[in-house]
Amino acid sequence: MGDSIRYPIMKSVKDAAEIYGLSPAYIRRLCRTGKVRFVNAGHRWLVNMDSLARYFEAGDRQGWMKPLAVSAGFLGGDILEHTEP
């Protein structure tokens, strides 16, 4: 009875790119290559923000830099650290 459903935070590619200060093309590339979860809603791509945050927390094996989150509110309180590659 105490079970609750947690729905993922989904944002458009444009919104996700603005939050992280990245280009929409880069966010779409992360989605296309399977590095970040997303869904197609008609012609719109909706990015799973938890998946995107985890991707940047873990870092990319190809040496991408992890960006600093614009606001902890967008990521449910998690703030990512800015590190040099």
What is the C-alpha radius of gyration for the chain, rounded to an integer number of angstroms? 13
pLDDT digits (tens, 9 = 90+) for 4-17: 998 999 999 999 99
Q: Give me the phi and psi of 11, to 5 degrees please.
A: -130, 155
The reported pTM is: 0.65
Mean pLDDT, rounded, of the chain: 78
Token pair recorded at residue 37: 């979860």
pLDDT at residue number 59: 81
Q: Identify which of 70, 66, 63, 62 has the alpha carbon closest to the alpha carbon of residue 82.
A: 66
**DSSP letter string, 26-64:** HHHHHHHTTSS-EEEETTEEEEEHHHHHHHHHH--TT-P
